[in-house]
Structure 1
Amino acid sequence: MQESDQCPKYSSLVGHLMSVFEEFMLILNLYSVKTSSGVFADSVTSVSVWERNSVSLNSDLTEINDDVIQWRFGDKNTVIAEINKQFDRITVYDDVLDGRFRDRLKLDKQTGSLTITNTGTEHAGVYKLQIKSEIKPFILAVYGGLESVSVKKGDSVSINSDLTEMKDDDVIQWRIKNNLIAEINKRLKGITVYDDVLDGRFRDRLKLDDQTGSLTITNTIFRDTDNYEQEINYKRMIFSVNVYDDNLVMEGDSVTLDSDTEMMDGVRILWLFGPETTLITGINKRPKGITVYDDVLDGRFRDRLKLDNQTGSLTITNTTTEHTGDYKLLINSAIKRFSLTVFTRLPVPIISNSSYCSSSSCSLVCSSVVNVSDVTLSWYKGMSVLSSISVCDLSISLSLPLEVEYQDKNTYSCVLNNPISNQTTHLDIHTLCHTCADSVHCCGPIEAVIRLVLSALVGVATVIILVYDIRSRRAERDQAHIHTSGT
């Protein structure tokens, strides 16, 4: 491995990667390089580098004695650099191959060794150092980086190749610890999944996309947690897949983190918690002992942990929000991951009459005071949501109005919830909503005032009409009297 010290985050993978490169020797018969005389090269040097790092292809010469040496790349043996001792000239061909080597090549004038700086996956492939009729071949693998993918146990996960479409001569292979588990060979138009490798753990659970080469693992299990290597024409990517078990529980309840295994003699189990991976309990079958570390983390697990001696599963009783976090189970050298979220119990929402009602409908308000974040207050009609309000703040009063027709025979309810479904409380509202028998006593003060004003207006109008009628009749009578007197 070249320049591995420049990538400390990958240091834990160095030993594993070194074993990966041993398989290069198994495919040399496919990439053997002939000399001009038709004799196969005696040896091929395999070199790897992480993307954006530098790598040197060493000539193993102490001094150049020949007039011309050349470095070639790829299937077409394109010359990318050369040294001419006769003219004391070093030439780098920046513009060949779409300029992929521009400003990246350095030649050692003394030894002829080639250094490639700021490498990319496009620099992966076969290099040849030609000195007269002799050729020294190199295979350079460029790793595009480490990508991490997390998936909940039982779900499917896709590891994407970043290809939009495979070319006609592409070969994509997927491996785990040097074990070939799946491949697509466009040259042979074949897709192969190796069900029997690794004890058959992937049987009927691997799918390959014939357009992009992406790998999908269905119905994931804990044993799928591993580093997956993808190779496309010497270009390699490493994907770290982490399968975890997601658990939700309400404060005060118990939860069991299932180990999904059976304890055997000589097996050692350790449970760790939090970002600092604090040891909280463990089992060692050889001395047959269970140890619980009550005093760690301010004693938050004191008298709450129970270990199953047969399976190693961990039960946490009387949970609190302090137990929310990531748990790791170490079974000898294997690791299983669990995520636990403990939610605070929510209060029951209160439904009350508003100050306003009418003869045809009833107006209600659902309210609650909560001291937790990320909750939602909703009105439901049957199973359908009518309206909702969500808050992220702590210690806030929530209220949500609803107007219902008296003749409506649907069932309504008010729900206060967060991700725990059994924290929802449904309340029947019909006991609070009655038809008004007497508008004065039933209805609110605003409607009562409006009705009084309307009644007063009607009364005034009636008086005005009566007065006008009386005056009109009196005027007619007086007019008739004057007419009689004149006659």
Structure 2
Amino acid sequence: MEGDSVSLNSGLTEMKDDDVIQWRFGDENTLIAEINKRADRITVYDDVLDGRFRDRLKLDNQTGSLTITNTTTEHEGRYKLQINSESKRFKDFRLDVFGLESVMEGDSVSLNSDLTEMKDDDVIQWRFGDEDTLIADINVTADRIIVYDDVLDGRFRDRLKLDNQTGSLTITNITTEHTGEYKLQINIEIKIFILFVFDEVKSVSVMEGDSVSLNSNLTEMKNNDVIQWRFGIKNTLIAEINKRSDRITVYDDVLDGRFRDRLKLDNQTGSLTITNTRAEHDGDYKLMFTDLMMYSEGRFSSKSFRVSVYDSVHCCGPTEAVIRLVLSALVGVATVIIVVYEIRSRRAERDQAHIHTSGSIEI
């Protein structure tokens, strides 16, 4: 997903003393990173290709694997690994970067083509779902703009708007049936977006320093399930479970490390627990779930949580403030009742003792 990190694995467990590893990108095989064990040198080339990889490349000194952080669609393409040791070896990778959008039901969302202006011979097509159903297109040469309202049982009727200058697509009055994969084809280039539509946001409150659990509502994850937890308006990936590769990952270093040592994932249900909460953990959390069958059909599932973190002085909202006030009042009343009861009990005991003493004297 756009904004995430991805690691391209060299397949080595350890580099040898005379190994030279080179990573190249694109059709022109531009050198972007290398390790030369003979010269004890590690180099990343930040300034090539207009700086698109600047501050994004990390090389593993032990294995030579390459990690690309904060990916964008301009990092899509072919990566070639060349290992020069006793004999030359090559590995090829094809990286596809998906745009990720999330929106509440009833809102609008724009899927950006990244064009500033279309050319005279451009043809743009927007497709949806696993069957690549054509929902809108622009043919500049033929001076034609079409939205296909009647496809897919009319689910996009009166909801699609195309920007005549850029080809970007806006979907209005969204419902959950618009969740899925959108494919933009500009001539021969393809860009993919994953759109999640949330029908509700569950509000959760937690006192600062306490823990809070966000429930996936799954009883058990299956072998092909993938769960991702994302945070904030940029949908930053903070934790995921990939049952296909038997991997559980929490991303401690994202967002300046605000979640470091605070995230726990339930391997059975995918639920997320945040421990020792702070004010900086206040915000929107999104659960994005799919399995192999759902993905092949272009279907995804999602849940949204709004976590409010409050301290002991400042409550999280007027409703809770009223509840706390009522509870405090009830506790106060209960305390008064106990005190009054105690006073009356002691008076009764004292009077009883006085009567008993007086009675003894009279006898």
- TM-score of the two chains, using structure 2 as the length reference: 0.61
Whether 1:229 and 2:80 are equivalent positions in the alignment is yes
3-state SS of 1:337 partner: strand
Whether 1:467 and 2:358 are equivalent positions in the alignment is no
Going from structure 1 to structure 2, the CA distance change for 1:251 and 1:158 (only over 3 Å counts) comes to same
Q: Work out the number of aligned pairs and report it.
A: 270
Cα distance in 2 for partners of 1:190, 1:391 equals 47
Instruction: Report the residue type matching 2:317 in the other structure.
Output: L
What's 1:38 paired with? none
Cα distance in 1 for partners of 2:99, 2:327 equals 55
Offset of residue 460 of structure 1: 4.0
Q: Which has the larger radius of gyration?
A: 1
Say which of 145, 152, 157 aligns to 2:2: 152
Cα distance in 2 for partners of 1:437, 1:258 equals 53
What's 2:15 paired with? 166
What's 1:427 paired with? 317
Whether 1:443 and 2:333 are equivalent positions in the alignment is yes
Going from structure 1 to structure 2, the CA distance change for 1:271 and 1:201 (only over 3 Å counts) comes to farther
Going from structure 1 to structure 2, the CA distance change for 1:195 and 1:470 (only over 3 Å counts) comes to closer
Offset of residue 433 of structure 1: 4.9
Spell out the pairing of 1:149-298 with structure 2 (5 A cutoff): 151-153=1-3, 155-175=4-24, 176-177=26-27, 179-182=29-32, 183-187=34-38, 189=40, 200=50, 202=52, 204=54, 206-232=57-83, 233-261=87-115, 262-298=117-153
Cα distance in 1 for partners of 2:119, 2:210 equals 55
3-state SS of 2:97 partner: strand
Spell out the pairing of 1:66-465 with structure 2 (5 A cutoff): 151-153=1-3, 155-175=4-24, 176-177=26-27, 179-182=29-32, 183-187=34-38, 189=40, 200=50, 202=52, 204=54, 206-232=57-83, 233-261=87-115, 262-346=117-201, 375=202, 377-380=204-207, 384=208, 386=210, 388=212, 390-393=214-217, 419=286, 426-428=316-318, 429-431=320-322, 433-434=324-325, 443=333, 454=342, 457-465=345-353
Contact 2:138 2:146 in 1 (8 A): yes
Instruction: Report the residue type matching 2:68 in the other structure.
Output: I
Offset of residue 206 of structure 1: 4.5
Offset of residue 470 of structure 1: 1.4
5+ residue gaps, structure 1, are 1-150, 347-374, 395-411, 476-487
Cα distance in 2 for partners of 1:337, 1:436 equals 52
Cα distance in 2 for partners of 1:437, 1:168 equals 71
5+ residue gaps, structure 2, are 219-278, 287-303, 310-315
Offset of residue 275 of structure 1: 2.4
Task: Pick 1 or 2: higher relative contact order, CA cutoff 8 A, min separation 6.
Answer: 2
Cα distance in 2 for partners of 1:464, 1:208 equals 88
Offset of residue 240 of structure 1: 2.5
Misfit runs of 4+, over 6 Å: 194-197, 421-425, 435-440
Going from structure 1 to structure 2, the CA distance change for 1:335 and 1:385 (only over 3 Å counts) comes to farther
Going from structure 1 to structure 2, the CA distance change for 1:203 and 1:223 (only over 3 Å counts) comes to closer
Contact 2:206 2:307 in 1 (8 A): no
Contact 2:203 2:307 in 1 (8 A): no
Which deviations, in whole Å up to 9, do the C-alpha atoms of 1:344-402 show, x marking residues without a partner? Answer: 234xxxxxxxxxxxxxxxxxxxxxxxxxxxx452234xxx36464544449xxxxxxxx
Offset of residue 203 of structure 1: 5.8
What's 2:271 paired with? none
| CA RMSD across the alignment | 3.8
Going from structure 1 to structure 2, the CA distance change for 1:462 and 1:190 (only over 3 Å counts) comes to closer
Cα distance in 1 for partners of 2:330, 2:53 equals 74
Cα distance in 1 for partners of 2:94, 2:60 equals 19
Offset of residue 256 of structure 1: 0.9
Cα distance in 2 for partners of 1:181, 1:249 equals 39
Task: Identify the range of structure 1 (423-432 vs 309-318) with the bigger mean alpha-carbon deviation.
Answer: 423-432
Instruction: Report the residue type matching 1:259 in the other structure.
Output: S
Instruction: Report the residue type matching 1:377 in the other structure.
Output: V
Which deviations, in whole Å up to 9, do the C-alpha atoms of 1:414-442 show, x marking residues without a partner? Answer: x99653677979513445555999989x7
- TM-score of the two chains, using structure 1 as the length reference: 0.47
Which deviations, in whole Å up to 9, do the C-alpha atoms of 1:186-227 show, x marking residues without a partner? Answer: 345555666787x55646455544443222335533132123
Cα distance in 2 for partners of 1:438, 1:172 equals 71
Cα distance in 1 for partners of 2:120, 2:129 equals 28
